[in-house]
Amino acid sequence: MNTRRAAVVLASLAVVVIVSITCFNFFCFGQQLVYTTISVSDARAMLQFSSNVLVVDVRTTEEYAQGHLKGAINIPLSDLPLQISGLEQNRPILVYCQTGYRSAQASSILVNAGFTKVYNLEGGITAWINSGYPTVNP
């Protein structure tokens, strides 16, 4: 098994473990760890009025290269469990993907890791673009 494939398998297992812990905590202890899903307009306002927001694009590197939100860093969902320790837990984080599915998964992973200010962009970059907001195209 090559190194990249092994890393993907390890990251996938980490995601499964984190999701399992979330379900266990919710059903056994009644703990519901939550993130906030926000609209495109609310996300844009957040980015305009706060310079402290970390924007995380959880799409693949190839998707990110096709265009992304200004200032966004790229951490593909499969790599998030391996890179989560490098993120500031108390900093607001806006997470997005193409349509909102992967970013919801990433938001859950972040919340379960102790992050308290996690915002999931509803509809992802597709909704952002459809609202006429700009993206960075390298």
The one catalytic residue in 55, 77, 97, 125 is 97
The H or E element containing residue 96 is strand 93-96
d(Cα 13, Cα 11) in Å, to the nearest integer?
Answer: 5
Q: Count CA within 13 A, CB hemisphere, residue 46.
A: 23
97 is catalytic: yes
Q: Is the CB of residue 94 less than 8 Å from the CB of residue 46?
A: yes
Structure tokens at 129: 């673009």
Residues ≥6 apart with Cβ < 8 Å to 27: none
Compute CA distances 30 → 10, 25, 52, 73, 104, whole Å: 29, 6, 32, 34, 20
**Which of the residues are catalytic?**
97
